């Protein structure tokens, strides 16, 4: 299971807080260190902190993914392709999610 698959499974869990333990907390920290650029989590000491961090990360991932989808559609629409490429380049430079950066770069 990839890191992204693990996180998606965690985020879609009906009771994220119930999965909180030292192993899952450490894995979440490792996930953030590996999959996001220049990001780290604050100390997570409770199940509620863990659940909150997962929800915030999940929503952030969804927002960036939706933005990338819109940019790729714009790139292939009969509009200003150069402007769309510029926006995609900016996305690839500014997105904190490594796999979405790579997808954006691959679409250029």
Q: Which one has a higher pLDDT value, 1 or 29?
A: 29
- Domain residue ranges in the chain: 3-107
Structure tokens at 66: 């939706």
Q: Which residues have a Cβ under 8 Å from the Cβ of 31 and sit 6 or more positions away?
A: 3, 6, 7
Percent share of the chain, pLDDT over 90: 84
* 10-62 pLDDT per residue, tens: 999 999 999 999 999 999 999 999 999 999 999 999 999 999 999 999 999 99
pLDDT at residue 74 tops 90: no
Is the per-residue pLDDT at 79 higher than 80? no
């Amino acid at each position: 299971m990839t890191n992204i698959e693990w996180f998606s499974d965690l985020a879609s869990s009906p009771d994220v807080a119930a999965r909180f333990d030292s192993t899952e907390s450490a894995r979440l920290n490792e996930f953030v260190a590996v999959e996001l650029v220049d990001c780290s989590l604050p100390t997570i000491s409770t199940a509620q902190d863990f659940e909150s961090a997962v929800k915030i990360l999940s929503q952030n991932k969804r927002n960036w993914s939706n933005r990338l989808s819109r940019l790729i559609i714009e790139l292939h629409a009969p509009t200003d392709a150069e402007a769309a490429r510029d926006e995609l380049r900016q996305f690839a430079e500014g997105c904190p999610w490594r796999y979405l950066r790579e997808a954006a770069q691959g679409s250029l």
